Structure 1
Amino acid sequence: MSKFFYGIEDLFVNYLFAPYDFFRFMENWWSSNSVNWIFFVIGFVAMIYWMKELKLFNDRGEEDKSISSHSYL
């Protein structure tokens, strides 16, 4: 069973996280964390899009706001 967990360790350390070793030795904090900032920007854009879509549904009145819309309420 230990070989299974060593195999998982080898997969992640030597293959999947290998591109992050490039960022580890950079001198600049901004370039080291560029991947995190890219994910942050993507998440922020997705949140803005989702809020805009929720507002459109609310303005059109398509959401069922009645108390009996769910049986458990």
Structure 2
Amino acid sequence: MKSFFEALQWLNDEILMALHEALRFLELDNWWLANIISWAFIIICCYYSWYWVKQLQLHKDNNEENQDTTAHSFLK
């Protein structure tokens, strides 16, 4: 069981956080470039959040959303 959690740690540290590590090292060399990349990711996330909310509003306006309180069995 210990090796399973060590594998998860390795996956997180070496694979999933590779971009964050690259940005951390880039900041030491070029602060402006690191911040431009960070702001680009922030702008992309804001755009797709806005798009998602817009699509939710379209579905609500077309009455395609089930807002009945008994839509889920645990709410009966």
TM-score, length of structure 2 as denominator length: 0.62
> TM-score scaled to structure 1, two decimals?
0.64
Deviations 1:10-40 (A, max 9, x none): x84xxx45743344222xx543312211110
**Offset at residue 45 of structure 1 (A):** 0.6
Pick one of 63, 70, 73 that aligns with 1:68.
70
Whichever of the two has the greater Rg, that structure is 1
Distance 1:68 1:19 in 2: 48
Instruction: Give 4+ residue runs of structure 1 displaced > 4 Å after superposition.
Output: none
Equivalent position of 1:33 in the other structure? 35
Distance 1:30 1:22 in 2: 9
Structure 2 unaligned spans of 5+: none
Matched positions, count:
62
Report the RMSD for the aligned CA atoms in angstroms. 2.6
Residue 33 of structure 1 aligns to a residue in which SS?
A: helix
1:24 corresponds in structure 2 to 28
Unpaired stretches in structure 1, ≥5 consecutive residues:
none
